Amino acid sequence: MENRQLRIMVIDDEQIVGKRLKSALEKTGDIIETFEDGVKALERLNNHPFDIVVTDIRMDEIDGIEILEKVLAKSNQTKVIMITGYATVEMAREALAKGAFDFIAKPFKPNDLRAIIDKAAKELRKN
């Protein structure tokens, strides 16, 4: 994978989080799609591959752990980064044990997430 635009999906049931992350992450030229609904996000993933998925853990219809499992079942190349406002050591361990690339707790600065995305992109380029 060359230095090309990344296709990044952001899933968070708080609309403001998706808007802020989209605005911040697009500054590097990557393609960002945001979803408040995990089910709709998964439908989109079925038809369009993404390099990186950033998902909240706690959401109403489908939680981030289930999204993680479905994303990795479809493509083990996709890097999944978990975000949550309810960070616990147990949640972090579960997400990482199930294949998440990394985990970040709210509140965080967009640059903190960008650093994790850059690490994920570096991993993607290795493959």
- Residue 1 is predicted with a pLDDT of 44
Instruction: Please check whether residue 2 lies inside any domain of the structure.
Output: no
Least confident of 32-36, 58-62, 112-116: 58-62
In angstroms, rounded to a whole number, what is the distance separating the alpha carbons of residues 32 and 38? 16
Q: What angle do CA 95, 112, 47 make, to 5 degrees?
A: 55
**Tens digits of residue pLDDT in 47-106:** 999 999 999 988 888 989 999 999 999 999 999 999 877 767 788 788 999 999 999 988
Residue 97 sits in a domain of what CATH number? 3.40.50.2300
Instruction: Please check whether residue 80 lies inside any domain of the structure.
Output: yes
pTM for the model stands at 0.93
Instruction: Please check whether residue 1 lies inside any domain of the structure.
Output: no
Instruction: Please check whether residue 36 lies inside any domain of the structure.
Output: yes
Tally of domains in the chain: 1
Instruction: Please check whether residue 60 lies inside any domain of the structure.
Output: yes
- DSSP for residue 76: T
Would the pLDDT of 37 be above 80?
Answer: yes
Expressed as residue numbers, the domain containing 22 is 7-126
